[in-house]
Homo-oligomer: A and B are copies of this chain.
Amino acid sequence: MSNSYGTLFRITSFGESHGPAIGVVIDGCPAGLEIDETFIQAELSRRKPGQSKITTQRKESDAFKILSGVFEGKTTGAPIAIVIENEDQRSKDYSHLAETFRPSHADYTYESKYGTRDYRGGGRSSARETAARVAAGAIAKLLLRRVQVEINGYVSQVGDIIAPPYAQLNLKDAESNIVRCPDAGTAEKMIELIDRVRKSRDTVGGIVTCVIRNTPVGLGEPVFDKLHAELGKAMLSINAVKGFEYGSGFEGVKLMGSQHNDEFYNDGGKIKTKTNHSGGIQGGISNGEDIYFNVAFKPVATIMTDQQSVDKEGNETIVSGKGRHDPCVVPRAVPIVEAMAALVLADFMLRDKAAKI
Contact = CB atoms under 8 A, between A and B. Distances in A.
Given A33-B357, A255-B205, A2 B104 contact: no
A307 B263 contact: yes
Contact of A296 (B124, B249, B261, B278): B249
Interface stretch (A42-50, A170-178, A179-187, A221-229): A221-229
B244 A243 contact: yes
Given A123-B71, A226-B236, A285-B109, A81 B242 contact: no
Interface residues of A, number: 149
Contacts of A1: 27-28, 77-79, 221-223
A23 B115 CA distance: 28
A232 B260 contact: no
A30 B79 contact: no
Contacts of A118: 71, 76, 78
Contacts of A217: 109, 112-113
A78 B258 contact: no
B257 A249 contact: no
A21 interface: yes
A203 to B, nearest CB: 4
A213 interface: no
A356 to B, nearest CB: 5
A21 B68 contact: yes
A52 interface: no
A250 B296 contact: yes
Contacts of A13: 79, 223-224
Contact of A298 (B16, B260, B351): B260
A193 B15 CA distance: 47
A258 B300 CA distance: 9
Nearest to A118: B71
A108 interface: yes
A300 to B, nearest CB: 6
Interface string A335-357: 00000000000000011111111
Given A31-B113, A109-B220, 7 more contacts: A25-B25, A108-B282, A113-B222, A205-B254, A226-B237, A257-B299, A257-B303
19 contacts: A14-B78, A23-B68, A101-B264, A103-B263, A104-B257, A109-B283, A110-B222, A124-B223, A203-B258, A204-B255, A204-B257, A205-B252, A243-B243, A244-B245, A252-B299, A261-B303, A265-B316, A269-B314, A271-B314
